[in-house]
Amino acid sequence: MTMCLAQSNAWAGIDVTRHLFLFSPILALILTMLAIVACPIIVGRSAKTIGAVAVMGIIASFILALRVAGEVSEGGVSGLSTLPAAGLLLVDNLSIAFQIILLAFMGGVTYLWWMGSSDSEENAPEFFILLFGSAVGMALMVSTSNLLMIALAIETASLPSYAMVGFDKRDRRGAEAALKYLIFGAISAAIMLYGISLLYGMSGSLSVSVVAKHCIEALATGHDLVITMVGLMCLLAGIAFKVSAFPFHFWCPDAFEGAKVEVTTWLSVASKSAALILLARLVMVFCASISAPEAIGILSPLAWGIGIMAVMTCTLGNFAAYKQTSVKRLLAYSSIAHAGYMLMAVAVFVHPNSEHSQDGISALLTYIAIYMFMNLGAFGVVSMVVWDTGSDKLSSFTGLLRRAPLLAIPMVVCLMSLVGLPPFAGFIGKWWILVALGQLNNTLGWFLIIAAVFNTLISLYYYMRIVVHMTLRDDGQPALSFPLGGVALVNLCAIVLLAMFGLAQPMKTTSEQFTRNIFDTTTVAKTAVVDAATIQPIESVQR
Amino acid sequence: MWLALVVTGGIDPLNRIDIAMNTLTIIVFLPAMGALLCLIAPKPMIRSIAVLTSLVTFLFSLTLFSIYFGSDAGTSADVFGSTYGALHHVIRLPWITTDSINIEFFLGIDGLGFPLIILTTLVSFLSCWASWNMEKWKIGKGIRAYFILFLLLETGMLGVFVSLDFFLFYIFWELMLLPMYFLIGVWGGERREYAAIKFFLFTLAGSVLMLIALVAMFFYSGDAIAQAGGEVASAYQENVTLTHGTFDLIELATNETIQAYFSSPVTRFLSIKFAPLMFAFLFIGFAIKLPIVPFHTWLPDAHVQAPTPISMILAGVLLKMGGYGFLRLCYPIFPTGAEFWAFTLAVIGVVSIIYGALCAMAQSDFKKLVAYSSISHMGFVLLGIAVMTKAGFQGAMFQMIAHGISSPMCFFLVGVIYDRAHHREINRFGGLWMTMPKYGTMATIGFFASLGLPGMCGFIGEIWVLLGTFDAGSKYPWAYTLAIIAAFSVILTAGYILWLIRRVYLGKEKEEYAGFSDVSGREIMILAPMALLALVLGIFPMQTVFDFTNGTLDLVLAHVTNAISMIP
């Protein structure tokens, strides 16, 4: 190993300690995972113990992420390399911002699990190994611009997710959902790998920036156009599966309905937003590979492709949610619709030199942060209703305002925030996306704006169905019993959603800070890359 | 305070709070403060707190009259000067500011907002008081939630009439939706669920169109400024240069660069002419609220299902937001769009007048009849505005105020009898004047005001609109025909109101209703101010309304006609 390092000049001049520090949030997750593996041998399988270890790991990782973020926002590390040698991993403002959101959300999900399952769960170590495994995958997904690493990260995120969906092996619906999820996942992974192989074959590199250059050349000259586009679309399909974008969304409602509520909550936000950030990063690399700002138009087929996919996803999610009677399934479709809104922000293709280069990406980041609270709150209420009544049917929500006002009111806030109604944060999330699209000031932008606002209108009705059941109807079901900690969580979410509306300004400033330097190509030297070392062996093998 | 610091953008919190203690801010947020108080107050005190809050808000809003009696005393033409956009009690604080976006907390008042603010606080107070003895309180449920939502609704309504930043306007506009939904949905009648969601969906449909216009207007004004070299002096603020788009409604209307770009036929939105399209988006948003045929179907449902006080608010204030929106946004900002659509709008207005009156005539439900009469009356507002003449604008404004007084009164009158009889079938009533003489007198005043009897408030608005429409004949040949058709609607109105009065109040006393108590002291106290105003407005239209509004209205009209005359 040492010899290997000494021989490879790619490692020369790289400060390994510093790099370990930059990746420390991910490393902390991996170490916690190992600790959880070891726990049953050393201290036993008690769910509370395992939960405590997991919480400590999350907190440690979170603190590390904040420290790294402190460094990053000072401008110490930044930049997205457009050099051919772009590495397997990179840490920049965006990836660290997402890791912070991810870890905060993971804390919320663990808390929810603690409330609901820590007394009865027999397989806590396995659950947390899977949870941490998928979190590592998602954190890696946003920290790379290398095709091989993308494929690996997506698989690392997906495989534990399949198992988590079917975690309760006595539950037939969960097993069925897991199988469906697995089949879709396996096929889309295969398609994506095929696409990657095509792109690699055409460009001779796994670095997205090289591939992007090649694609742009193909678009401009028509040379190798078909095969490049096929490769690109296959890659997009793999990512779209994780986003659950149309037409790769079929797994989503089944998996969400069959899985335990904690797992559904986790998947609805974390896996989708990780894939969205990844997609946004690919888009950024493509835009950054364009030499002149005027030439950005050459990418408009891609922008339109993502834009139309966004509109279809959004519209389909909203219409399909209409007839649902299971609230979990309804929220699954709602999460498809929200993936559509967020995809719209990804469709903002602008040149890095343009004045508005970071509008789309900072809007996406803001939206994810808000979306996390909306879904945590809504699923938190659903899970408490499920724990008490054993059903997530709409009818078990009837009269919730009387049966548990402290659940019904935050639920209304979360749902109205999901609709995007002021004065809740969901409106601010949508607003920044609309602004980013408006900045484009072209047909695509206005088309997406119109689609987005009309989808808001469509979505109102099915969210209101839950509200109607909770507040306007009452069939005399008995009052709900619920853990106080859970009530605190959902009410906190509701308050945060109200506060975030008032704090629209600082939120925007923060997310702009976290997206400021990602287009910056001048600071490549500072970019944290574990350099091309791992790529070269592959090529040398070929030779 | 810390929150205020963050919200207002950071610098110098104490100073900012000093600035924020502006009359308008206090008026707008007093009800919200009352709502907070209701949240923590013990149950028996809630009603008193809510009614007191709305009373204090009303009394405080009366201090706004001082602008007419200060150093530049007189009518609104003197008070607000000779340019559109002269405002009083202005407050502007940065709210959301980024490199390219500047959303402000910008409130101000002129002759458009002033009468509607007074109307809102008055009607809110009266209907809050009217909620005192709702049947549902007897089982003691929901009293806290009801008054909290009610006061939040009042904040939303007041905010709409004073915000001059489009984004802020939109926020206040949407702020009303949820409280109104629950007020209809939880405390309403039999089909409340349906009525509430219908109200919500219709209004949100209008709002999303407005949202498109909001984003488009911002970026197109930015384009206009960019084309003019990136720096344009503000039209009405000294030492202010615009470098990006703006949400400032006054700036959008009066800045020549922006106006020229907006009205240019070359400016396209998705290859459709910008001004007519944006005008239509905004118009539909407001027309749903007004409401105008064919967007009116939510209104009879919502009004009938809502509890009496909420019907009063709906008819008295919410409908006026549509008309206010026309005068504040559509016409000043898109005058060329107004010219483009003038004929269509006038026809829709006349159709609303006739259709509403005919529908009202066919109703056997007392409340539904009043609801349809609102559609008919609001048709006059649209007609008056659409023809773009002095008398038309003034009449439309007067009609809004007059209807804001007469229709809550009518709804309350219906509520009074519904509380006692527990049904609203017009044909089952009869001879109520004999049973309840005070009630009968009040009812006659209310319904005659609604009918438009000369000497009552309804008459002035209608006749002004008709005069304005005839007046427009010189520029629009079709206006004569429409004026004549609209004039005939007076017969229809008289028809359904007189027929109603005959069936309900006249005739022989009926056995069923013999034991009914006459209106109580509280009910009289609620009806009396409205009855009084219905008369005073009819007798002294100049001194009560026109003096306060005409200056601003004439400026808006002058601005609009000037812009239209520039069309090549």
Which pLDDT score, from 0 to 100, does residue A517 have?
A: 64
Tell me the chain B residues in contact with residue A437 when contact means C-beta distances shorter than 8 Å.
215
Pick B175's closest partner by Cβ from A423, A439, A454.
A423
Determine the average pLDDT of the residues in B250-265.
87
Which pLDDT score, from 0 to 100, does residue B8 have?
A: 47
Hey, is the C-beta of B186 within 8 angstroms of any chain A C-beta? yes
Q: Between chains, do B96 and A504 touch, taking CB under 8 Å as contact?
A: yes
Q: Is residue A79 part of a domain?
A: no
Q: What is the DSSP letter of B318?
A: I
Hey, is the C-beta of B226 within 8 angstroms of any chain A C-beta? no
Tokens (6 digits) for A65 = 């992420």
Calculate the dihedral angle through the C-alpha atoms of B477, B481, B487, B491, rounding to the nearest 10 degrees: 180
Q: Which residue has the tokens 């949610």?
A: A321
pLDDT above 70 (res B406): yes
Q: Is residue A400 part of a domain?
A: yes
> Average pLDDT over chain B, rounded to whole?
87
Of A411-420, B131-140, B287-296, B389-398, least confident by mean pLDDT is B131-140
Residues B251, B155, B322: CA angle, nearest 5 degrees: 55
Which pLDDT score, from 0 to 100, does residue B17 have?
A: 59
Which pLDDT score, from 0 to 100, does residue B73 have?
A: 65
Hey, is the C-beta of B13 within 8 angstroms of any chain A C-beta? no
**β pairing state of B272-273 and B268-269:** antiparallel
| Residue A352 half-sphere exposure toward CB, CA atoms < 13 A | 22
Residues A507, A503, A368: CA angle, nearest 5 degrees: 45
| Cβ-Cβ contacts under 8 Å for A372 (sequence gap 6 or more) | A101, A104, A105, A108, A269, A273
CA–CA dist A443, A441 (Å, integer): 7
Q: Domain range spanning residue A468? A: 308-516
Contact between B466 and B458 (Cβ < 8 Å): no
Is B163 in a helix, a strand, or coil? strand
A contact test, residue of B176, B215, B227, B243 with most A CBs within 10 A:
B215
Which pLDDT score, from 0 to 100, does residue A74 have?
A: 52
Which pLDDT score, from 0 to 100, does residue A526 have?
A: 37
Nearest chain A residue to B271 by CA: give it. A443
Contact between A142 and A281 (Cβ < 8 Å): yes
Which pLDDT score, from 0 to 100, does residue A115 have?
A: 85
Is A191 in a helix, a strand, or coil? helix
> Would you list the domain boundaries of chain B?
2-565
Which pLDDT score, from 0 to 100, does residue B196 have?
A: 92
Condensed to tens digits (0 to 9), the pLDDT of residues B160-177 reads 999 999 999 999 999 999
Q: Between chains, do B201 and A355 touch, taking CB under 8 Å as contact?
A: no
Nearest to A211 by CA among A303, A291, A285: A285
Of A446-455, B65-74, B347-356, least confident by mean pLDDT is B65-74
Nearest to A340 by CA among A246, A443, A450: A246
Which pLDDT score, from 0 to 100, does residue A278 have?
A: 92
> Bridge-partner residues for A146, per DSSP?
A207
B contact test, residue of A358, A362, A460 with most B CBs within 10 A:
A460
Measured between alpha carbons, how far is residue B214 from residues A126, B176, B249, B509 in Å?
Answer: 51, 18, 11, 57
Percent of chain B topping pLDDT 70: 95
Which pLDDT score, from 0 to 100, does residue B84 have?
A: 77
Residues of chain A with pLDDT under 70: 1-15, 72-87, 517-543
CA–CA dist B370, B494 (Å, integer): 13
Q: Which residue has the tokens 């025909």?
A: B481
Tell me the chain B residues in contact with residue A449 when contact means C-beta distances shorter than 8 Å.
212, 215
Hey, is the C-beta of B227 within 8 angstroms of any chain A C-beta? no
Question: How many angstroms separate the CA of residue B268 from the nearest CA in chain A?
Answer: 11
Which pLDDT score, from 0 to 100, does residue B18 have?
A: 61
Measured between alpha carbons, how far is residue B493 from residues A132, B59, B66, B490 in Å?
Answer: 72, 35, 38, 5
DSSP secondary structure of A220-243: HH-TTHHHHHHHHHHHHHHHHHHH
| Cβ-Cβ contacts under 8 Å for B272 (sequence gap 6 or more) | none
CA–CA dist B105, B103 (Å, integer): 7
Burial (Cβ within 10 Å: 0-12, 13-18, ≥19) of residue A244:
buried
Q: What is the DSSP letter of B66?
A: G
pLDDT above 70 (res B485): yes
DSSP secondary structure of A356-400: TTTHHHHHHHHHHHHHHHHHHHHHHHHHHHHHHHS--BGGGGTTH
Burial (Cβ within 10 Å: 0-12, 13-18, ≥19) of residue B260:
middle
Burial (Cβ within 10 Å: 0-12, 13-18, ≥19) of residue A476:
exposed
Q: Is residue A130 part of a domain?
A: no
CA–CA dist A228, A219 (Å, integer): 9
Q: What interhelical angle do A208-221 and A147-165 show, nearest 10?
A: 110
Hey, is the C-beta of A272 within 8 angstroms of any chain B C-beta? no
H or E element in which residue B210 lies = helix B192-227
Hey, is the C-beta of B219 within 8 angstroms of any chain A C-beta? yes
Is B248 in a helix, a strand, or coil? strand
Count of structural domains, chain A: 1
Pick B96's closest partner by Cβ from A416, A472, A508.
A508
**Which conformational region is residue B277 in: left (phi greater than 0), alpha (psi within -120 to 50 degrees), or beta?**
alpha
Nearest to A450 by CA among B167, B219, B212: B212
Confidence class for position B6, pLDDT limits 50, 70, 90: very low
Q: Between chains, do A508 and B174 touch, taking CB under 8 Å as contact?
A: no
Tell me the chain A residues in contact with residue B200 when contact means C-beta distances shorter than 8 Å.
460, 464
Q: Between chains, do A464 and B200 touch, taking CB under 8 Å as contact?
A: yes
Determine the average pLDDT of the residues in B434-461.
89
Calculate the dihedral angle through the C-alpha atoms of B148, B150, B155, B156, rounding to the nearest 10 degrees: 120
Q: What is the DSSP letter of A271?
A: I
Confidence class for position B516, pLDDT limits 50, 70, 90: confident
Question: How many angstroms separate the CA of residue A83 from the nearest CA in chain B?
Answer: 30
Tell me the chain A residues in contact with residue B204 when contact means C-beta distances shorter than 8 Å.
456-457, 460
pLDDT above 50 (res B286): yes
More confident residue, A395 or B18: A395
More confident residue, A104 or B43: A104
| Residue B394 half-sphere exposure toward CB, CA atoms < 13 A | 23
Determine the average pLDDT of the residues in B466-478.
90
CA–CA dist A325, A322 (Å, integer): 9
